[in-house]
Amino acid sequence: MAVQKPTVEKIVASRLAALRKEVGLTLRELSARTGLSDAYLSRVENEQTAVTLASLEKLAEVFATPITAFFEEESKPCKLVLCRAGRGRKVRFRGRTGTLAALLAEEKHGKLMEPLIVDVSSATTPVKPLAHAGEEFNYVISGRCQFIFEGEKHELAAGDSVYFDATVPHAVRPVKGESCQLLAVVTSRDFQMHRNISKVIEERIQA
């Protein structure tokens, strides 16, 4: 006997419920963020009504995830993300000439932290100080770099670290002629900046 595949409505309902619970939102809180009524959201999660494309766009914006994520057959929250050495997906900060970084927990939805390994010396042009939501922690793994914060420059070496308010413009630049790698952890109560950290990364690349 052939196994019946779940309907689109069932898949969307399951994914919506899983995403909402993973980021810790009640139906009422999700309603306030999307402008959709909590009664409507409840009916969607219980497969009592089909979700519209317009509603999916609002939900995707809140969860900072592509609309296609609602059609993935996944109902259990991701409790563990294991990233082997050198396997984090490569992205580039601040355009094609910016800094290369490896995402260490990309698969986790609704993160409160976004850990990355940053190759400070990979930028082909000087990185300009920029600000973003939340706070940030940088730990120098190897080499030396220049940390710029509120216009002041601080030289950091292996073993040095900084914890700072990321809403203040900041940047990390390499010391001329030296390679440098650091662990950066971005944290924010605004879970929208996670999952694809689109508020931090201006352009992604696939290495």
Q: Do 66 and 155 share a structural domain? A: no
**Vertex 77, ends 72 and 81: CA angle to 5°?**
100
Same domain flag for 25 and 110: no
Question: What is the pLDDT, as a whole number, of residue 41?
Answer: 93
Domain end point (choices 71, 101, 125): 71
| 67 located within any domain | yes
User: Where residue 207 falls among pLDDT bands split at 50, 70, 90?
Assistant: very low
pLDDT of residue 66: 72
Residues ≥6 apart with Cβ < 8 Å to 182: 117, 118, 120, 138, 139, 140, 141, 145, 156, 172
Confidence (pTM): 0.63
Do residue 67 and residue 95 come from a single domain? no
% of the chain surpassing 90 pLDDT:
31
How confident is the prediction for the chain on average, in pLDDT? 81
Q: Which domain holds residue 31?
A: 8-71
